Chains A and B, each alone.
Chain A
Amino acid sequence: MRAEAVLPLLLFAMLGATFLPGGVVHASQVEIEISAPKEAQVGREVQIRVTLRSSGDGVPIADAEVTLLREASFARVVGDVELARAATDQNGVAILLYEPTVAGEQNLKLEYAAADGAEPQTAALTISVAEGPQIERSTAGIRVPGLNVWALVAVLSAVWAILFTAALSMVRIGRIGAEEGAHADQTRGRGGPAK
């Protein structure tokens, strides 16, 4: 949550606590029960189960918003990044799902407010995230099924083979010409019929 938003809420909560009758839960009376795995892996979904109860009578708190944050830094900017958000059901249970994207010891924070206007509280938890395979990939490139370089090579080879054959036939004509010319010379030399 933003720093600027907390102060008015705090004031309102204090005011509300002073003037409103009982039934409003005091902020410090919320109990939180967190059920989260100790270990996780990058790219695998993690489920964190949060139960909110009022600390006095253990009554589950419904419709309270729970936010999961993590300490992050990127390009020399540090801050809390919101990872998931959920509201508690009638049993006071909220399930937060998120996919870790950074490996190592993740310092997570759970922010929850008992009711609208109540002062938000935080609870910390740590999950050890193991490294995982690459999640996102660059998908550039033409992918047309069946279009590959071998199809092109096949077509080109066929065409050039035809051209090559035509060129060879010119060679053959030359060769035949030489043969028949030589043959004609021979017969003429033998005194064949004159023209």
Chain B
Amino acid sequence: MEEVAAWRTRLEGKVVSAMTHTGRGYLLLVGGLLAIVAWGVFAYTVQLRDGLIVTGLRDRIMWGFYISNFVFVIGISYGGVLMSAVLRLTGAEWRRPITRLAEGAAVAALCVGALFPIIDLGRPDRFHFLLVHGRWQSPIVWDVIAISTYLVATFLYLFLLMIPDMALLRDRPGQAMSRWRRILYRQLSFGWVGGERQRRTLSQAGTMMAIAIIPIAVTVHTVLAWLFSMNLRENWNSTIFGPFFVAGAVFSGIATIIVIMAVVRKIYHLEEYITEKHFVYLGYLLGIFTLVMIYMNVAEFLTVGYSMVGEAPFHLDQLFKGQFAPLFWFVFLGGFVTPGLLVLMPWTRNIRGIVAAALIVIVAMGIERYYLVVSALRVPQMPYEPSVYAPSWVEFSVVIGAFALVGLLLALFVKVFPVISMWEMGETREAGNAAGGTGR
């Protein structure tokens, strides 16, 4: 037990020092992110002043960088759902060190992702019309409902499973904790004392939320897909769009978790808890989803290309051979096939290889969302010349500012809340030790 206690103290020490010890590197990072966010806000004020004319969008391609990144950012929040809920319900013990980080990343991504539709509106001053005058038959209203429900659910899930850790930090002796931290932890611990009744309540609530949040998450991205597939556009009006988007979201979510895990592990020296095994298992999941994505793409394009109905010849030509060909083939070969190979081959199945694969996947999924939106809108509806779209500096600035905001929220999260779920870690360790030690 000496060993267990020592191990616990070490873990606790690492996690708390991650929260309280603010190095210069951290301040530089936060400062840089704040600067980028400020630049994004400035670009948005330019847009507010002059209207959407400052973007590259026009009548024929009226959705572009904002909407494609909206889908992308909501998609990367799926890592959290997968880690916390799915792995929890299937009893995968290896998830324990990474659930907190995954949930935090999901919340950060969701909060920022929900801003994108507002940024894209021509009249953001009338945003409240969505609530006051909303039509329930509209895919956009379904999206508003779904995302707000998902946001509430993710918040609840995060703070519910943080209660025991909050209690731990609340009770922790020492002057390292400032006063506001103590107050915050006291409030968020909800009077946790660790008694049997509380534990039972928490367990039931946690299981219920884990079961509930999976259909909510699947619904959110399916509804997002329906924003596109309920329109009569070539390649959008496809029945496979819902599952296609969900698969893509899980794919990019796993990749995001891998990258965030690698970064946090490096910075806060959590190598003891987040090991190569975690990367390898997540890499396997990533590999499985590359197969899923390849399958979905083949199913979609083979069906369309076999009969070549309507505008299919134009669309497939611009996607495979024309304007969007570099993007498409990078995504297919670089984003799907390459990470699959990296995971498959034993000599790249290590932390470096899997993080590299994850980075490629994140970039590829962002590009995939982009050409999905823009290429379908470029298909001419009547006899006119196809248009050209390129994002303007305003769109780039706002989107990069939004990504920086996600990073900023994550950086703040790591400072305020324990980055590893200590109580869940402790359970495994205790059980493992007890089983090994006493032969019980």
Contact = CB atoms under 8 A, between A and B. Distances in A.
B205 A176 contact: no
Given A165-B205, A174-B191, A176-B193, 20 more contacts: A159-B212, A162-B208, A163-B152, A163-B153, A166-B205, A166-B208, A166-B209, A169-B202, A169-B205, A170-B159, A170-B163, A170-B190, A170-B205, A173-B191, A175-B191, A176-B195, A176-B198, A177-B193, A177-B195, A180-B195
B201 A173 contact: yes
Interface centre among A156, A173, A177, A180 (most CB of B within 10 A): A173
A22 to B, nearest CB: 60
Contact of B190 (A152, A159, A174): A174
Given A165-B208, A181-B193, A159 B216 contact: yes
Contacts of B195: 176-177, 180
Given A169-B202, A170-B205, A173-B198, A163 B149 contact: yes
Contacts of B160: 166, 169-170
13 contacts: A149-B136, A159-B212, A163-B156, A170-B156, A170-B160, A171-B190, A173-B198, A176-B193, A176-B195, A176-B197, A177-B190, A177-B198, A180-B197
B274 to A, nearest CB: 28
A160 interface: yes
Contacts of A171: 190
A161 to B, nearest CB: 10
A142 interface: yes
**Chain A interface secondary structure, helix, strand, loop or mixed?**
helix
B22 interface: no
A165 B209 CA distance: 9
B145 interface: yes
A151 to B, nearest CB: 10
Residues of B in contact with A, size category:
20 to 34
Nearest to B141: A152
Interface in B171-219: 190-193, 195, 197-198, 201-202, 204-205, 208-209, 212, 216
Shortest beta-carbon contacts, A-B, top 3:
A177-B191, A169-B205, A174-B190
A25 B380 CA distance: 61
Contacts of A180: 193, 195, 197-198
B137 interface: yes
B156 A166 contact: yes
Interface in A5-28: none
A172 interface: yes
B136 A169 contact: no
A142 B190 contact: no
Contact of A172 (B157, B159, B201): B201
A152 B136 CA distance: 8
Contacts of A178: 191
Nearest to B142: A152
Interface of A: 142, 149, 152, 156, 159-160, 162-163, 165-167, 169-178, 180-181, 184
Contacts of A162: 208-209, 212
A152 B163 CA distance: 33
Contacts of B156: 163, 166-167, 170
A177 B191 CA distance: 5
Interface in B143-159: 145, 149, 152-153, 156-157, 159
Given A160-B149, A166-B156, A173 B212 contact: no
Contacts of B149: 156, 159-160, 163
B190 A173 contact: yes
Nearest to A158: B212
A171 B216 CA distance: 23
A163 B209 CA distance: 7
Contacts of A165: 205, 208
Contacts of A163: 149, 152-153, 156, 212
Nearest to B137: A142
Contacts of A176: 191, 193, 195, 197-198, 201
Nearest to A170: B190
Nearest to A159: B149
A163 B191 CA distance: 21
Nearest to A184: B193
B5 to A, nearest CB: 16
Contacts of B163: 170, 173
Contacts of B145: 156
A181 B195 CA distance: 10
A165 B195 CA distance: 20
Contacts of A181: 191, 193
Contacts of A170: 156, 159-160, 163, 190, 205
A174 to B, nearest CB: 4
A31 to B, nearest CB: 56
Interface centre among A149, A167, A175, A177 (most CB of B within 10 A): A177
Contacts of B191: 173-178, 181
